[in-house]
Amino acid sequence: MTTTPTSLLPKEIQKHIEDRNWRGIATYRKAWPDFELVAPEIVDEMESLDKSDRVLFFRALPNELAVEVFSLLDADSSDRLLLELTDSETRELLANLDPDDRTELLGELPGQVTQRLLTLLSPEDLREVRRLLGYPEESAGRLMNPDYISVRADWTVGQAIEHIRERGPEIDTISMIYVTERSGRLVDAISLQDLVLADPNATIRAIMDYSFVSIRAYEDREEAARLMKRYDREVLPVVDSRDILLGIVTFDDALEIAEIEATEDFHRTAAVTPLKRGYWETSVWGLFRSRIGWLAILVLVNLISSGVIASYEATLEAAVALAFFIPLIIDTGGNAGSQSATIMIRSMSVGDVKMDQWFRVFVKEIAIGLAIGAALGAMGLLLGIFRGGHLIGLVVLSTMMTMLLLTNLVGMILPFILTRVKLDPAIASGPLITSIADAVGLVIYFGFANLILGL
């Protein structure tokens, strides 16, 4: 029976951390475990330390491990650490960061801090950062790493492998090798495995199939993650409008994108403006601003529902039993609309439903709305008869069937409309669709009440 160790950090290092013996860590002579494995544990350890110990601990780490740890810190932690390091330490740290991590860091820091850090970069790194920062914030270009390995089609496989040996130590990912023309235009992508298994004397052109997946630099980063998932790619090349290879997006970037986009969708479904930072890093004022805007808008939308009730005051006075079912009507309609919207938003986000399939979805949701309306309407009929008689039961039945059909269709169609006008469809679920369904349900309810009861 094997057991999993509680920590991948060497016992001596754990003891030094407990004793706050940073000199001992700096002079640790034995081999460290894989930096990528121990870096997350070091981040956890740093979060439990006070300011002075945190800086001393970070300075005691080997350079390569310090860079790996820094790339895992959240925006606030990296910001604080940079302010505590000397200019020379910061310069070395920035120089060793991967270009995509460096660009992400500079894009998230306050403007004044970013300007200070830019002055510490080498001319070459500065040009690279400015080029990457020139792309839109949520684009694939902003996310890409400009370091990759490319070869020519007329090279032999042996020449390509020798080139990889020379450049490989400088490159973060070499699982895919890109074939480019002299102009830089991407013409193919070959896996390292296929290259190694090929005849060393064969030309690269002989093993090319001219089949590859790429993304434009200005396309949304979420599309990069979707393409990598759909085509099972660990690396995705980024090209410009002329198919010139600019850089690559790696699998760890795709995972980060998926987490960020999922978090934003969760926030929007609850009518919250997505937070730029974590909960504890966001001030009370920041949380207030993220929530108050939509809540104020929804108050105005809900005034429509109260206006509907006010306009049918005479109807309620003539049949008091109708008031018993108002919560039932508005809650059921809102829940059904939210269900429909949530299913549609998720289906669209994972590519299961396309924009041009809206009519097929519309027809299918008609059938679903009618089935749900009939089932819940039957329950409403029994409740209506019990609380107010046969006519009230008929009002509730007719309302439930009609309302559930309409709110189901509204919940389904709204994400399509929002996507068409370039808005995030996630805002269609939750509070917004519920508020719309409330007003729709009340109008239908009182309409049937006047018709059936003869009021």
Most confident of 42-51, 168-177, 183-192, 277-286: 183-192
177: which strand partners?
A: 190
Parallel/antiparallel/unpaired status of strands 186-191 and 215-216: unpaired
Q: Answer whether 0.75 is exceeded by the pTM.
A: no
Average pLDDT over residues 404-409: 90
Q: 2-6, 229-233, 247-251, 425-429: lowest mean pLDDT where?
A: 2-6
Burial 384-398 (b: 16+ CB within 10 A, else e): bbeebeebbbbbbbb
What's the pLDDT band for 5 if we cut at 50, 70, 90? very low
Cα–Cα distance, 164 to 425 (Å, whole number):
44
Cα–Cα distance, 450 to 322 (Å, whole number):
11
244: which strand partners?
A: 185
Structure tokens given for 67: 């860079």
Higher-scoring residue by pLDDT: 162, 298: 162
CB atoms within 10 A of CB 176: 22
The pLDDT tens digits of the residues spanning 432-449 come to: 777 788 888 888 988 898
Average pLDDT over residues 152-167: 92
Percent residues over pLDDT 90 in the chain: 18
Sheet with 245-250: strands ordered across: 215-216, 235-239, 245-250
* pLDDT for res 346: 80
Average pLDDT over residues 106-123: 67
Domains detected in the chain: 11-136 (1.25.60.10), 150-269 (3.10.580.10), 284-453 (1.10.357.20)
176: which strand partners?
A: 191
Q: Is the pLDDT of residue 116 over 70?
A: no
Q: Is the pLDDT of residue 413 over 80?
A: yes
Q: Is the pLDDT of residue 280 over 50?
A: yes
Residue 238 in contact with residue 247, Cβ under 8 Å?
A: yes
Cα–Cα distance, 425 to 334 (Å, whole number):
17
* pLDDT for res 158: 93
Question: By three-state DSSP, how is residue 180 classified?
Answer: strand
Q: 249-258, 332-341, 436-445: lowest mean pLDDT where?
A: 249-258
Average pLDDT over residues 234-260: 84
C-alpha closest to that of 313 among 326, 300, 330: 326
CB atoms within 10 A of CB 151: 22
* pLDDT for res 2: 37
Q: What are the backbone dihedrals phi and psi of residue 48, each rounded to the nearest 5 degrees, phi first?
A: -90, -5
Mean pLDDT of the chain: 82
* pLDDT for res 405: 92
Distance of CA 243 to the CA centre of its chain: 26
* pLDDT for res 361: 92
Q: What are the backbone dihedrals phi and psi of residue 384, each rounded to the nearest 5 degrees, phi first?
A: -65, -45
Q: Is the dihedral of CA 77, 78, 80, 81 positive or negative?
A: positive
The pLDDT tens digits of the residues spanning 185-213 come to: 999 999 999 999 999 999 999 999 888 99
Burial of 262 (0-12, 13-18, 19+ CB in 10 A): exposed
Q: Is the pLDDT of residue 35 over 50?
A: yes
CB atoms within 10 A of CB 108: 17
CB atoms within 10 A of CB 252: 16
* pLDDT for res 3: 38
Residue 329 in contact with residue 442, Cβ under 8 Å?
A: yes
Q: Look-up: residue for tokens 């996507």?
A: 419
What's the pLDDT band for 402 if we cut at 50, 70, 90? very high
